[in-house]
Amino acid sequence: MDTRRFQFKNATIEYDVYGTGDAVLLLHGFGVDRTLWDNFISDLSQTHRLLVPDLPGIGHSGMITEKDVSMDTYAACFAALLQHEKISTCTIIGHSMGGYITLAFADKYPEKLNAFGLFHSSAYADTEEKKETRKKAIAFTKKNGVSAFLRTSTPGMFAHPENHVSEIAAIEEKGAVMSTAALEQFYEAMMARPDRTHVLKSFANPVLFILGEHDSIVPLTQGLQQSMMPAEAHVNILTHSGHLGMLEEPAESLLKLQQFLSAVFV
């Protein structure tokens, strides 16, 4: 592993590089950090060059302190990372909010993508109901703090939280470094993101979907609807997972990723 940093706008972005070969960028979701992918690193780095960053504002990456930060801003950040590494094309796998960034990247820089994957993520915009839920989360966090918010929200990401007590505690501990301002920035960007189903319909290369049968954040029915849109979709359902299949079914999740990457890089 080689830990590196680069500057994007006013923020220092930290990321790890593993292995050699075709580049794969792994983008974690909201409330977690780059260690979310730890179960996959050893195996995937045998055949691919992995770039594994902390999103701006979480983990060891600084927050972008400017107004109106959007998914396009985050996508531009990771386009800059590829440029910094002198990588012309890659595959991106995005979990949850990382998937929203992946879709923004595919919208803006399709020529830089060999393929992409949505891991418990969605191309649909927030509904008004979802926006209200996010606004309440911002208000709760401003009043009670990030740690309190994560204590209330993290168990709901698992299908069976009682079986993942240590993982929940680790997420809460690592996520507590996130500031209230960063949480608000993430949520504002999520609420403002547009519908990007047109990206799924127009993207010419393979698209991976990993869906959790018990995912309360990206329901299975929604995931299956969007999986019908790409020209070439690879659809996988984790039958014992909620929103964190890489922790709930790590072996099955790894296998699905390996199969997809093998199909992309024949």
Tens-place pLDDT, residues 175-225 = 889 999 999 999 999 999 999 999 999 999 999 999 999 999 999 999 999
- Tell me if residue 17 falls in helix, strand or coil: strand
What single-letter DSSP state applies at residue 201? H
Give pLDDT, residue 119. Answer: 98
Considering Cα of 150, then 77, then 120, then 130, what sign does the dihedral take?
positive
Rounded distance between C-alpha atoms, residue 161 and residue 171, angstroms: 12
**Beta-sheet strand order (sheet of 22-27):** 2-8, 11-18, 48-53, 22-27, 90-95, 113-119, 207-212, 233-238
As given in the structure block, the two tokens for residue 127 are: 């509904």
Please give the class, per CATH, of domain 2-125+194-264: alpha beta
What was the pLDDT predicted at 265?
A: 80
Burial 153-170 (b: 16+ CB within 10 A, else e): bbbebbbeeeebeebbeb
Helix 146-153, helix 128-144: angle, nearest 10: 130
- Which sign does the torsion angle of CA 189, 192, 196, 199 carry? negative
CB 89 within 8 A of CB 113: yes
- The Cα–Cα gap between 25 and 121 comes to 16
Look at the block and give the residue holding tokens 């989360």.
137
CA distance 29 to 208: 16
Residues of the chain with pLDDT under 50: none
Residues 6+ apart with CB under 8 A from 177: 58, 59
User: What tokens were used for 112?
Assistant: 């830089």
CA distance 179 to 185: 10
* Tokens at 43, concatenated: 């195996």
**Domain spans of the chain?**
2-125+194-264
In sequence order, which residues have a C-beta less than 8 Å from that of residue 163 and are 6 or more positions away?
A: none
Residue 12 structure tokens: 């220092």
pLDDT at position 113 is 98
| H or E element at residue 207 | strand 207-212
Contact between 25 and 15 (Cβ < 8 Å): no
Strands 11-18 and 48-53: antiparallel
Looking at residue 104, what is its pLDDT?
A: 98
What pTM was estimated for this model as a whole?
A: 0.97
What pLDDT score was predicted for residue 197? Answer: 98
